[in-house]
Structure 1
Amino acid sequence: MKKQNNWSVLIGAAFLMASSAIGPGFLTQTAVFTAQLGASFGFVILLSVLLDAIAQLNIWRIIAIADKPAQDIANQVFPGLGYFISFLVFLGGMAFNIGNIAGAGLGLNVLFGVSVGQGAIMSAIVAIGIFIYKESGKAMDLFAKCMGCLKIGLALYVAYVSSPPLGEAAIRAVNPTQFSFTAVLTIVGGTVGGYITFAGAHRLLDAGISGQENLPVVNRGAISAIGLASVMRLLLFIAALGVITAGGKLDPANPASSVFKLAAGQPGYKLFGVIIWAAGISSVVGSAYTSVSFIKSFHPMILKRNREIIIAFIVVSCCIFLAIGKPVNILLAVGAINGFILPIALGVMLIAAYRLKIVGGYKQPLWLTILGIIVVGTMTWMSIGAIAQMLGH
């Protein structure tokens, strides 16, 4: 593959993963936890960036070395385990997609006054159009890049106009006064949990970027993806903090839209429409592509009909949303569920890194393995802590 084309796919994969992470749930989670924890949420973001980067580097590298999708690696570690992980990821991806379509529908409702249901159908048609196109891989990369840049640009503007207390945010990022297990679990789950961390890795695999010689490229892609998602999280946090510090009260029914409306008035509310549509539609594309990539190696017919199954996945998600209405708490809940999936998926990848039949003569750096084990332990501990917190309420 030519170097220029290689670079284009790499950036596309990074944006696909980041766009998959920056969905409507991402906007909702960031606003909710900023309201709960104030400036101390900066510490949660910092901690989650470290956990995200370690998890993603381990997973992307092992998939590239094995030159196989995650489910096939898991089946080689323990027969049947790949099917179990695929089931969890596919189910989580479907649940996320219902929320993504709801978010895209809400965006068109804010912008053009169409009903959320009509907006969802229109958005689903746009997403399907990307996969109908013959060069769908290139179209998906370009779409992910455009939507990613749009979201970051608009968030930067709202962060600027909300006049946030940057000094306090910086201090609390290293010296928090509040902490929440659920916040860390949900934020990490919403950034690299479930299907999200595999979105970019499976995209690179499909584009033929694998093997030890491509590890520097894979490393850059993994870190770039986390960097993009983290910049967006930081901008949204700063914008929400500015609004809350100024005495603004977020609407519990739609906390993310309140941030934009209180920071920049009616134009800000319209900007929210653009940003949640961009977040929703790009996450629909990333979620559908990655969820189906988890089952396509199980049967030749699935591989042959890959495009049709992705389109069916989007149609079914849209139909479920139209049947049940906007799932208000699903966006927060699914982030936490994806956080539970992460230690299982990462744990399996760490075992795979030391199986000769999977990675051949490749030696995984010891420091990366040790940090990966710490992330698995931390996420498992936080999962138990979050469940205890939920039961305590």
Structure 2
Amino acid sequence: MSQLEPEQKRIRAALIGAAFMTGASSIGPGFMVQTSLFTAQYGQSLAAVVVAMIVMDTIAKLNIWSILGISGLRGQELANRVLPGSGNVIAILVTFGGFTFAIGNVGGAALGLNAVCGLPLQAGYLISCGLAVSLFLIKNASNGINRASQVLSVMVLVILLIMAFQTHPPMNRVADGLLSPEQPLSLLVPLITLLGGSTGGYIAYTGAHRFLDAGISGRENLRGIQKSTLLTCGITGLSRILIFLVVFGVCAAGGQAASSAIEAAENPAAQAFLLGAGELGSRLFGVALFCAGITTIIGSSYTSVSFLKTLYPVVGRNEKWFITGFIVLATILIATIGKATALLVIAGVINGFVLPLTLAITLWSIRDKSIVGEEYRHSRVLTVTGIVITAITTYAAFRALPSSLAMFY
């Protein structure tokens, strides 16, 4: 065996791990709730949104991961090279958003345990926190995190696939919604919301920072990085398609009564699973929610701290302990103040602006040969489509701002 083969295997394993960690971070409790709610509201027309979101998500991540990979710089480092000080601002925004969502994800994992076996929420918080922290403190933490992300992601996908078969969504109506959606302009809100949930904030950088931490960068690894990007977008996209099919199957079978029940429920996804498969559906939902909660705790905590460690050396020297503190503090807050709805709204608003800001800075960096190298030529198609997505998401972020802030009045 040549010396190159073990290194190739290490790189391949790290890139697959980065893909699954990002994909797993995208399949969180909020992901399930948002997709379920919008499916009940927009019905078959949401099929067009799901497909458009997958395309835009793929373009955004291909741009960000490719440029970070070719430069060898993390998001905050690249931003500071392009516009001094902007990386520090982005790091603060991403960390705040990641921490806020970590609070919600601990709560989501605990709700999952409650749905499966009736475990009290306080006990669920402790178990979820302990499991997430243990993955960062074990001896071979990197491999453990990669394996956990893969196993938990597959479990969520399998559960969604089972439920999709159970609810029998009418595929002819799905095709109609995809090709001829009703009131297309009204679909802008769910499109931007779902895009922000799968690409905005910390999620855009989770996998990229993961493979950079593994020492993977440069032109020689660009093809592998782009394959990893497509894998993570495939995981997220398949999950989004399946949860849409599950909920639409329930709505199609139950009519307006089912749609109204899902839309009015405190947890639309839980209601859809209950209507679709009764008590078994509730149990399966609990397992899926717990798995999704754990994976997103891992992703949000890791990525948030990765934004701070190059700006503050003490964080880099004690990374695993800062991640541990991050998770523990999120657990304490969810256990003491509850849902933290106001924080989640603020984080959502911030996420809406983080994606266009970071994508714009990343695209601008390709003009600087000291960042990407003299010989690198970024794909013109990715550049143009990336600019279009930046413009669309900027417009949508400003359009959504008044309604988001109105929740406080």
**Contact preservation (8 Å) 2:76, 2:91:** yes
Question: What's the counterpart of residue 243 of structure 1?
Answer: 250
Is 1:256 aligned with 2:263? no
Is 1:212 aligned with 2:226? no
Question: What's the counterpart of residue 338 of structure 2?
Answer: 325
> Over residues 340-368 of structure 1, what are the superposed CA-to-partner deviations in whole Å (9 max), with x where a residue is unaligned?
21000100101112112211212212221
Q: Select the residue among 185, 188, 193 that pairs with 1:186.
A: 193
Counterpart-to-counterpart distance in 2, 1:199 and 1:294: 10
Counterpart-to-counterpart distance in 2, 1:285 and 1:61: 23
Q: Select the residue among 363, 373, 377 that pairs with 1:363.
A: 377
Question: What's the counterpart of residue 28 of structure 1?
Answer: 33
Read off the aligned partner of 1:220 and give its amino acid letter.
K
Q: Closer, same or farther in 2 for the Cα pair 1:329/1:41, shift >3 Å?
A: farther
Question: What's the counterpart of residue 55 of structure 2?
Answer: 50
Is 1:66 aligned with 2:79? no
**Contact preservation (8 Å) 1:70, 1:294:** yes
> Over residues 233-274 of structure 1, what are the superposed CA-to-partner deviations in whole Å (9 max), with x where a residue is unaligned?
100000000111122221521111011111111011000010
**Contact preservation (8 Å) 1:185, 1:386:** no
Counterpart-to-counterpart distance in 2, 1:388 and 1:288: 29
Per-residue deviation, 1:154: 0.3
Written as runs of structure 1 = structure 2, the 5 A alignment for 1:143-292 is: 143-178=148-183, 179-247=186-254, 248=258, 249-250=261-262, 251-292=264-305
Question: What's the counterpart of residue 107 of structure 1?
Answer: 112
* Deviates further, 171-180 or 286-295: 171-180
Question: What's the counterpart of residue 3 of structure 2?
Answer: none
Q: Closer, same or farther in 2 for the Cα pair 1:258/1:333, shift >3 Å?
A: farther
Written as runs of structure 1 = structure 2, the 5 A alignment for 1:342-353 is: 342-353=355-366
The DSSP-based 3-state class of the residue aligned with 1:134 is: coil
Question: What's the counterpart of residue 118 of structure 1?
Answer: 123
| Identical residues among aligned pairs (%) | 37
Q: Closer, same or farther in 2 for the Cα pair 1:328/1:82, shift >3 Å?
A: closer
Counterpart-to-counterpart distance in 2, 1:306 and 1:117: 27
Read off the aligned partner of 1:225 and give its amino acid letter.
T
**Contact preservation (8 Å) 1:22, 1:283:** yes
> Over residues 184-235 of structure 1, what are the superposed CA-to-partner deviations in whole Å (9 max), with x where a residue is unaligned?
1110000010000100111111111110111110110111101100100100
Counterpart-to-counterpart distance in 2, 1:44 and 1:279: 22
Counterpart-to-counterpart distance in 1, 2:277 and 2:341: 25
> Over residues 257-306 of structure 1, what are the superposed CA-to-partner deviations in whole Å (9 max), with x where a residue is unaligned?
01111111101100001000000001000110001000100132211100
**Contact preservation (8 Å) 1:25, 1:332:** no
Question: What's the counterpart of residue 136 of structure 1?
Answer: 141
Per-residue deviation, 1:327: 4.1
Question: What's the counterpart of residue 387 of structure 1?
Answer: 401
Per-residue deviation, 1:163: 1.2
Per-residue deviation, 1:120: 1.2
Q: Which runs of 5 or more structure 1 residues have no equivalent in the other structure? A: none
Counterpart-to-counterpart distance in 2, 1:331 and 1:297: 26
Read off the aligned partner of 1:205 and give its amino acid letter.
L
Is 1:84 aligned with 2:104? no
Q: Closer, same or farther in 2 for the Cα pair 1:113/1:338, shift >3 Å?
A: same
Per-residue deviation, 1:50: 1.3
Read off the aligned partner of 1:187 and give its amino acid letter.
L
Per-residue deviation, 1:7: 1.9
* Deviates further, 35-44 or 245-254: 245-254
Q: Closer, same or farther in 2 for the Cα pair 1:300/1:391, shift >3 Å?
A: closer
Read off the aligned partner of 1:197 and give its amino acid letter.
A
* Deviates further, 303-312 or 180-189: 180-189
Counterpart-to-counterpart distance in 2, 1:333 and 1:273: 27
Per-residue deviation, 1:2: 2.1
* Deviates further, 374-383 or 147-156: 374-383
Question: What's the counterpart of residue 310 of structure 2?
Answer: 297
The DSSP-based 3-state class of the residue aligned with 2:367 is: coil
Read off the aligned partner of 1:375 and give its amino acid letter.
I
Per-residue deviation, 1:165: 1.4
The DSSP-based 3-state class of the residue aligned with 2:303 is: helix
Per-residue deviation, 1:89: 0.3
The alignment of Structure 1 onto Structure 2 pairs a total of residues equal to 393
Aligned-residue Cα RMSD (Å) equals: 1.7
Per-residue deviation, 1:331: 5.9
Q: Closer, same or farther in 2 for the Cα pair 1:332/1:169, shift >3 Å?
A: farther
* Deviates further, 320-329 or 284-293: 320-329
